[in-house]
Amino acid sequence: MKLNDKEFELFISADEMAEIVSRLATSINRDFAGEEPFFIVMLNGAFMFAADFLREMTVSHEVAFVRASSYKGTQTSGEVKIHTPVPEKIKDRRVIILEDIVDTGITMDFFLSELKKFSPKSVSIVSLFVKPGVLKQKIKVDYIGKEIENRFIVGYGLDYDDFGRNLDAIYVLKN
């Protein structure tokens, strides 16, 4: 399959993605039963994950969206920008971050330090994917959909220069 100028091949089927999302949702419904968590969805990449995941939430909750970016093409730029304000309402709330992928962890590390300025009661991270590099930033991803090797993937919200976000399965860059 070709996206822009690069070739990708199927990596994780749409059915498997649905299973991963349901498993994550079940864990959150169990662990946050009786609480009222505040979800923060990391745009743009987590939009499709969040849409499917939140429909499976049985716990009462609020949702806000924050856009952060660090990537250019298939390489991280190492520079993080947060383009939308962090919701002040998170003070004393249990926050759950919904992220598509934590790779080097630079984005998450930066975002966590921003969040803490608003004094949430707790912060948990749910990420569909983590790559091995995440270990370098010593970030604890509390709920992991799937650990993947260090390859570039697209689909289910993840993009290659904004192409491929609509795909219902995950595709990997051909070597």
Active site residues: 103
> Torsion-angle region of residue 149: left (phi > 0), alpha (psi -120 to 50) or beta?
beta
- Please answer whether residues 49 and 156 qualify as being in contact, where contact means their C-beta atoms are separated by less than 8 angstroms: yes
Instruction: Give ∠ CA 135-148-52 in degrees, rounded to 5.
Output: 105
Task: Mark residues 28-57: x for contact with ligand IMP by CB under 6 A, - for none.
Answer: -----------------x------------
Q: Is residue 3 within 8 Å of 174, Cβ to Cβ?
A: no
Q: Which tokens sit at 35?
A: 């609480």
| 102 interacts with, out of Mg ion, ligand IMP, none, CB within 5 to 8 A per kind | ligand IMP
Shortest Cβ 168–ligand IMP spacing (Å)? 16
Helical spans, DSSP H, in the chain:
14-31, 47-54, 106-116
Asked if residue 163 binds ligand IMP (CB under 6 A), the reply is no
Q: How far is the CB of 134 from Mg ion (least distance, A)?
A: 13
Among 17, 40, 103, 128, binds ligand IMP (CB under 6 A): 103
Which of 104, 118, 163, 165: binder of ligand IMP (CB under 6 A)?
A: 104
Binding region for ligand IMP (CB under 6 A) out of 9-17, 55-63, 117-125, 152-160: 152-160
Return d(Cα 40, Cα 118) in angstroms, integer: 13
Judged by the rule CB under 5 A, the positions of this chain that interact with Mg ion are 45, 100
